[in-house]
Amino acid sequence: MRNNTIVQLLQGKKLHQDIQISGWVRAYRSNRFIALNDGSTIHNLQCVVDFENTDEKLLKQITTGAAIRIEGTLDESQGQGQSYEVIVKKIEILGSADPEEVKKTILQPKKHSLEKLREQAHLRVRTNTFGAVMRLRSQLSFAVHDYFRKNGYFYVNTPIITGSDAEGAGEMFKVTNFNLKNLPKDDKGIVNYKEDFFGKETNLTVSGQLEAETYAMGLGKVYTFGPTFRAENSNTSRHLAEFWMIEPEVAFCDLDGNMDLAEDFIKYVLQYVVDHCQDDLAFLENRLIQEEKSKPEKDRSPMKLREKIDFVLKNNFKRVSYTEAIDILKSSKPNKKKKFNYTIEEWGADLQSEHERYLVEKHFKCPVILFDYPADIKAFYMRLNDDGKTVRAMDILFPGIGEIVGGSQREERYDVLKSKMEDLQIDQKELSWYLDTRKFGTCVHSGFGLGFERLVLFASGMGNIRDVIPYPRTPQNADF
């Protein structure tokens, strides 16, 4: 007999039929009722055991955490709390779980802190919270590819090992096969990377953007969706050392087209999870409500989780220049009364999350796209405006999270790009291939980067980015 999934059975299509189901025991009570979960849904399936006619040795092996297979009949439930249940005819223990060992883990059916769950990240997906988050993450991943496929984009796999630094930030993880206890050095004591595996210094990528741009120059519309790495020593709830980035690059597209694309894309993927993750969203929303009860009133979110998602779906994103945003922030009450941790004093300031959230949640009360940033605080590849001091950059700001997207119209003019690289002392020889795209059929083109975990964070209502990726990589932590 073929295995069914619980999500299938709870639709009631197999009612009064013989079925087979495999899963893990979440609870076993009164020597009669098994709460079974197989990961396909937030909901457990109640399986009713005829304990009087079942081997006692077998019954003793039905413990929390055990993997079992059940054959029986799907029936309408006689009790409250569920619509269907399985009348068990046969039980097979696939993998036992010692109750004494289970007590030492997060599989024990009681409330555990998120920190405790991170310590046992290999088991946390078997809790309701992380099962819901990871199903949501999976659906969002599919929605990303679905959107781009439907809109004529080509999926490009850009290198994870690279010799270039797309951001020019220098916060990169080095890749080497040197024996670190015996590095080859020249007469000046400088490491000789010509003897390394790739014959030069290489790193884990911080972005696939530059390589994706070259492919947009031949395929028109491309996107990357893969892991990226930042060696920032940021121990915050919004930063990871390893995370996934979504990066479309589009030829013949200016900044306005780029903003249109980003808004349309975000609304599509969020609508997708609203349509396909109702049960998990309802659970995560209720979890957030319970969590916020312990916070002071002023720190609670003004919107429930699904209201916050609807807030993004139903509002047009307000487009505001950086200059206008600075004027708004300078004149704001929190700034005048020194309530911001970072006071806005003059044009050119790099906006912090508190400023971004103020613009979204307090001032405009809708998602915001800021554009035309000072060139000094943005990357070299962004197109310089005619004023010579701002670039065609844009950031999308969300409630509760601040910046979720960063992008720009790329600098397509060879001479201007070359001059900017000279000013910033960026190695033109190392990026000669990137400059080449401006020599052979250059055109207006644009793109953006969206940190996937930030998107999952927003859609799930979780408060820490370490809880929306299976195994978080952060400073001093590379467990599992």
Q: Write the pLDDT tens digit of every residue in 147-198.
A: 999 999 999 999 999 987 766 556 899 999 999 999 999 989 999 999 999 9
For the chain, give every residue range classified as CATH 3.30.930.10. 128-159+214-467
At 274-295, the pLDDT tens digits run: 999 999 999 999 999 999 888 8
* pTM beyond cutoff 0.75: yes
Q: Where are the beta strands (DSSP E) in 354-434?
A: 368-374, 390-398, 402-409
**Which pair of tokens denotes residue 79?**
């009790």
**Euclidean distance between CA atoms 462 and 457, whole angstroms:** 5
Q: What superfamily in CATH does domain 128-159+214-467 come from?
A: Bira Bifunctional Protein; Domain 2 (3.30.930.10)
**Which pair of tokens denotes residue 461?**
């209502």
165, 134, 162: which is closest to 40 by C-alpha? Answer: 134
- Phi then psi for residue 409, to 5 deg, are -80, 130
Which residues fall within 8 angstroms of residue 406, CB to CB, at 6 or more apart? 393, 394, 395, 448, 449
Percent of the chain scoring above 70 in pLDDT? 99
- Phi then psi for residue 176, to 5 deg, are -155, 155
**Which pair of tokens denotes residue 15?**
């009612």
Which residues fall within 8 angstroms of residue 413, CB to CB, at 6 or more apart? 383, 438, 442
Whole-number pLDDT of residue 13: 87
Whole-number pLDDT of residue 421: 93
Whole-number pLDDT of residue 170: 60
For the cut 60, the answer to whether the pLDDT of residue 225 exceeds it is yes
At 52-64, the pLDDT tens digits run: 999 999 999 999 9
Architecture in CATH of 6-105: Beta Barrel (2.40)
| Contact of 129 with 170, CB cutoff 8 Å | no
For the chain, give every residue range classified as CATH 2.40.50.140. 6-105
Burial class (CB in 10 A: 0-12, 13-18, 19+), 291: middle
For 285, the 3-state DSSP assignment is helix
At 387-433, the pLDDT tens digits run: 999 999 999 999 888 899 999 999 999 999 999 999 988 889 989 99
**Euclidean distance between CA atoms 469 and 244, whole angstroms:** 9
**Euclidean distance between CA atoms 442 and 410, whole angstroms:** 11
166, 132, 109, 171: which is closest to 39 by C-alpha? Answer: 132
What single DSSP character describes residue 164?
Answer: -
What length does the chain have? Answer: 480
Whole-number pLDDT of residue 303: 87
**Which pair of tokens denotes residue 30?**
């009164």
Mean pLDDT, rounded, for 226-254: 93
At 6-22, the pLDDT tens digits run: 999 999 889 999 999 99
At 337-391, the pLDDT tens digits run: 999 999 999 999 999 989 999 999 999 999 999 999 999 999 999 999 999 999 9
Whole-number pLDDT of residue 41: 97
**Euclidean distance between CA atoms 204 and 210, whole angstroms:** 14
**Average pLDDT of the chain to the nearest whole number:** 94
154 beta partners? 222
**Which pair of tokens denotes residue 245?**
């980035």
For the cut 70, the answer to whether the pLDDT of residue 140 exceeds it is yes
Measuring CA to CA, how many Å separate 133 from each of 42, 181, 461?
Answer: 10, 42, 9
- The CB-side HSE value for 197 (13 A sphere, CA atoms) comes to 11
